[in-house]
Structure 1
Amino acid sequence: MNTGFRDTSEQDRPLARPSRRRPLLLAGGVGLAVLTLAAVLYGGQLTQRLSTGSAVSAARLTLATVDVGPLTRDVAGEGRVVAAQSPTLYAPGAGTVTLAVQAGDPVKRGQVLARVESPELTNRLAQERSNVDALKADLARAEVEARQQTAALQSAYENARIDQQTAQNDLARQTQAFEAGATARMQVERAQDALAKAKLALDQARDLRGLKTDSLALDVRAKQSALSRQQLLVSDLERQVAELAVRSPVDGQVGQLFIADRTNVGRDAKLLSVIDLSALEVQMQVAESFARELQPGMPGEISGNGQRWAGQVSSVSPEVVNGEVAARLRFAGAQPEQLRQNQRLSVRVLLDRRDKVLGVARGSFVDEGGGFAYVVRNGVAEKVAVKLGARSLDRVEIVSGLSVGDRVVISGADNFKGAERVLIAD
């Protein structure tokens, strides 16, 4: 009996070595497919690069999406408070000015602010008043003389009328005597001649009375006209003398003094200004391009000191200065209190508002080109012709060329150098 251990030679079997051809073929096929796909992708990218301009980093661009939304066109800026009425007062005549107020003093309408001492004007008024007294005396004398001459003419007329009546009565007596044979015919003829002379004298007296009366009336009226003219002159001089006391035309505050007290000035010299604080407006400077659309009555908004007030355009200056136009807004409601001349406030004027407008955020592309825009699709910016419409401070209307959802380069397009297609690099 064999007691030794048997080895494992009986259990071990040599295995057939597997063939490695098929896995290698499979691995080779997969690798070839990957290389082919990479070549296609690289080729497509290479083709795309060859068909576009130079690449531009996306960090240097600003993009915005085209959408439909409200478009509000307005003009905003800084304004300053000005008085709607700020009259400047001038010297009504030459003389020495005595000021009755100081700058900043509150004043009432009709209050005396300054007095002008004009000896020349005062003396002239006294002379013209003396002339008025002389003309009054001349008029009274002419009226008395007219009454005297009228009475004399009336007396002459009455005497002529009586003489006519006497001649007529004498003719009647001579006629009766002649018919009775008591007198000669010659006496009748003499009485007839006397009556004719009396009638002629009466007619002359009546005509002379009418002509002389008209002449006397004309003289009296001439004296009256001269007196009236002189009284008008005196009234005008009295007005000028009264205006030597310069009065405030409005309730408000003394603004600026243009002269010192006791200064000798000429006629129409600037004395001082008065600010009407009851009617304040806000003046703003508007660019000429926007000023063409500004019209009185447009709504606006005035804000300052944490408050907002409704406003309305009251006037637009017709003059352009340094490319800007001055526009004024008045408060639509009650005027706020505690406002001061030249105080700074924020102003906004609404030009137009539409709710549903196809547009995009405003950028430099609006001013740089205006007729085209770059639309980004699949990492490439393509130059597209567009037509722009209304423009606001932050938005511009798209009339044609773009659709909702298009991504547009609104800033930085100058890096494209006008190329038709530009690759956008991440």
Structure 2
Amino acid sequence: MIRDTSAQDRLVEVRPSRSRNRKLLLIGGGVAVVALIALAAPRVSTMFSADTSVSASRLNFATVTRGPFVRDIAAEGKVVAAVSPTMYATSAGAVVLKVHAGDVVKKGQVLAVITSPELTSKLAQEKSAADAMEVDYLRAQIDAKKKRSELQKAYDNATIDQTAAERDLNRYESAYGKGAVPQADVDKAKSTLDKAQITAKHAKTDLAMDNDSLTFDVQSKKLAHDRQVYLVQDLERQVEDLNVKSPVDGQVGQLFIAERATVAKDAQLLSVIDLSALEVEMKVPESFARDLAIGMPGEISGNGKTWNGKVSAVSPEVVNGEVAARLRFDGDTPKQLRQSQRLSVRILMDKRDNVLTVQRGSFVDESAGRYAYVVNDGMADRRDIRVGASSIDKVEILDGLKEGDKIVISGADTFGDAKHVAISR
């Protein structure tokens, strides 16, 4: 047999070269990069179209919804007395207190007495002057009557003399016609009659003129007396006011003076609290004050109970960015409340259904309600909007947004003037 070379053959292991391994790695890496680029292409295009990029952790978002919209103000209030008069000294003097702080008092009850010797002495003097003027007035009436009587008497005598002179003239004229008396006697009788007529005329004039003068004199005395009487009445009122009385049923609040202290006129003495007329005072932010109106309904809560109320007053002055408002209980005032007690207050300003709203955030103040950033696929796009009324936690959307839109409600101040912002995770 012919021998072959099989006995000499040997299997040799073929190993790939380094260059070939590198080539395979490059090909695989390229495929992976292409796949990643294909997957991230939309994201990359979004990033490149944005004006800036902000982390989502720095922002707060909310979704626009449609439903009921309630505008209300909730705050803490304190009980104050609707009627809490303060008593003042009507005159200078020493004060004797008749009550203590916390005492229950009735309307008209004497709370304090002011001792004023000057006022008491002046009243006595003016009373004496009034009595003297009354005597002068009565004397003037008597003198006037006497004077009128004398004038009337003079007028009556003059009238009688005139009548007698007329009779004498008639007799002399008749006798002269019969030739019994001379013409001189007739002329004398005529002169006597003329004189009597003039006297009667002047007496009548004097009676009228002096009567008016006497009337004026009596009236003057009467007016002076009346004026003095009014002065005495005013002083009596002042003396009566020295007894400081409670104007309402209530409770003595604060005493501003010590017992038997000497005070000046118009000095504060004490205060009285009318516990039957209590109100609740609350502080309202200035932004809501313009919408408050007297008569708005509210709720007052405390002591485990809730009472209905109404806005009774709104202060016209803004203090530290707040406005003071008062609520009056709708119905009888609860008996268990106390002055300055803290209660929860809620004022209902508006209530509507089917309103487009979004959670309130700083975007309302930052943009003045003119625009908002709508979030979609990792991008926040600025959109012009128009907002309406605001409540504590919501704001009404009038235009620019629709139900389901997601917007940035706070943190948009970091966007600057950018119109397109990328939201990174």
Taking the TM superposition and a 5 Å limit, the aligned residue runs for 1:202-351 are 202-351=200-349
Q: CA deviation at 1:188?
A: 1.1
CA distance in 1 between partners of 2:98 and 2:281 (Å)? 31
Q: 1:322 to 1:60 in 2, by over 3 A?
A: closer
Aligned to 2:102: 104
The one-letter code sitting in structure 2 at the alignment partner of 1:46 is: V
Stretch deviating more after TM superposition (378-387 or 55-64) = 55-64
Q: Deviations over 1:102-140 (max 9, x none)?
A: 111111100001111111111111011101111111112
Q: Which runs of 5+ in 2 are unaligned?
A: 1-27
SS of equivalent to 1:113: strand
Q: TM-score, normalised by structure 1?
A: 0.88
Stretch deviating more after TM superposition (382-391 or 44-53) = 44-53
Q: TM-score, normalised by structure 2?
A: 0.88
Q: 1:183 to 1:349 in 2, by over 3 A?
A: same
Kindly indicate whether residue 165 of structure 2 is the aligned counterpart of residue 167 of structure 1. yes
Stretch deviating more after TM superposition (315-324 or 51-60) = 51-60
Q: CA deviation at 1:346?
A: 1.1
CA distance in 1 between partners of 2:242 and 2:407 (Å)? 71
The one-letter code sitting in structure 2 at the alignment partner of 1:152 is: E
Q: CA deviation at 1:56?
A: 4.5
Aligned to 2:177: 179
SS of equivalent to 1:338: coil
CA distance in 1 between partners of 2:53 and 2:215 (Å)? 109
Aligned to 1:129: 127
SS of equivalent to 1:268: coil
Stretch deviating more after TM superposition (406-415 or 244-253) = 406-415
Q: CA deviation at 1:320?
A: 1.4
CA distance in 1 between partners of 2:151 and 2:48 (Å)? 128
CA distance in 2 between partners of 1:375 and 1:342 (Å)? 47
Q: Deviations over 1:17-56 (max 9, x none)?
A: xxxxxxxxxxxxx999987544311333333333336654
Q: CA deviation at 1:236?
A: 0.6
Q: CA deviation at 1:424?
A: 3.6
CA distance in 1 between partners of 2:242 and 2:104 (Å)? 21
Q: 1:138 to 1:31 in 2, by over 3 A?
A: closer
Q: 1:144 to 1:416 in 2, by over 3 A?
A: closer
Taking the TM superposition and a 5 Å limit, the aligned residue runs for 1:147-162 are 147-162=145-160
Q: 1:180 to 1:384 in 2, by over 3 A?
A: closer
CA distance in 2 between partners of 1:47 and 1:296 (Å)? 57
Q: 1:362 to 1:191 in 2, by over 3 A?
A: same
Q: CA deviation at 1:256?
A: 1.0
Kindly indicate whether residue 390 of structure 2 is the aligned counterpart of residue 391 of structure 1. yes
Q: 1:137 to 1:45 in 2, by over 3 A?
A: closer
The one-letter code sitting in structure 2 at the alignment partner of 1:399 is: L
Q: CA RMSD in A?
A: 2.2
The one-letter code sitting in structure 1 at the alignment partner of 2:355 is: V
Q: 1:322 to 1:36 in 2, by over 3 A?
A: closer
Q: CA deviation at 1:59?
A: 4.1
SS of equivalent to 1:160: helix
Aligned to 2:85: 87
Kindly indicate whether residue 401 of structure 2 is the aligned counterpart of residue 406 of structure 1. no
Q: CA deviation at 1:81?
A: 0.7
Aligned to 1:376: 375
CA distance in 2 between partners of 1:385 and 1:160 (Å)? 112
Aligned to 1:145: 143
The one-letter code sitting in structure 2 at the alignment partner of 1:96 is: A
CA distance in 2 between partners of 1:129 and 1:171 (Å)? 63
**2:197 pairs with one of 196, 199, 222:** 199
Q: CA deviation at 1:376?
A: 2.2
Q: 1:32 to 1:110 in 2, by over 3 A?
A: same
The one-letter code sitting in structure 2 at the alignment partner of 1:230 is: Q
CA distance in 1 between partners of 2:414 and 2:139 (Å)? 103
Q: Which runs of 5+ in 1 are unaligned?
A: 1-29
Kindly indicate whether residue 336 of structure 2 is the aligned counterpart of residue 363 of structure 1. no
